[in-house]
Copies of this chain bind each other. A is one copy, B any other.
């Protein structure tokens, strides 16, 4: 009691807000951020908007970053080029779109059977991943920041059930990146089709299946009307992470406070995006099932074959791409160790709870 009184007296003696305000110059800066996504993907797009708003708030309005949907300033798939060549100062995108430049960029997004979202964030923040990615992006004049993680996604919409690995043979699926390579290795036929044309392609039978994101975004494409089997999980890209890209020279020209605002606001957007999906996906999944969507787990044998193919493809790329090899070694070690820990406390608890709460 005596101690508390003393502390209170001390607190009163030292007023928390001192009288004299400090004045410091905040350079007025106007940047433009191009998203690779349309406004209709409101969770991903919303994270970029939140980022811009927060940077402005943190700098007393001095640093304004306007956010633009795909196509408004540059096409969605050209965001990396635009930031790299300083057409734009910033982008919000998925490194997945640029693996044609270098497969190693996939580590900033996801790989088949990759890290779950917590492990991805931990690997980047404390496991050495970010240092390796920063080196990789330096070659493009870009500095990357985490920009949200969707968590494990769904495994795609299918017109017919997949019961054995043989059912993959000849299956034309909308699936890109390394996941597409795995699909091909299993005898499937990966197809690159813009999101907006996916519905028509399934309806006409041009393709047999399509993967997109998860329940909340998939619902908007309306695929449940033309393909009734909804597979899980989205093994072809672990837990996809979005990224903020900043032009290195533009960043270097910023005052320190503005750089800190980018760092803090990107972390907030990173959390916000996943929390939003984690709130929206359960509701959307219920609606989809209510409309007749049939949930199906990928058969174990299919996952085993996909896992084997993914391991081979990773080894193959590592053999010819030193940056991929370096990132893969760090990532794979982290994957083994984090999975070993997650399967003890986290997975056991999640699985128990799922069983206990099952209606």
Contacts and interface: CB of A to CB of B under 8 A. Distances in A.
A274 B122 contact: yes
A7 B338 contact: no
A74 B268 contact: no
Contact of A352 (B122, B303, B335): B303
Copy total for this chain = 2
Interface string A112-137: 01001111011111110000000000
Contact of A275 (B122, B263, B279): B122
Interface string A17-40: 110111111111111000000000
Given A17-B29, A336-B357, A4 B118 contact: no
A27 B16 contact: no
A107 interface: no
A292 interface: no
Contact of A27 (B22, B214, B339, B356): B22
Interface in A219-263: 232-235, 238-239, 250, 253-254, 256-257, 260-261, 263
A185 interface: no
6 tightest Cβ-Cβ pairs between the two chains A and B: A343-B354, A122-B278, A233-B349, A282-B341, A126-B279, A282-B337
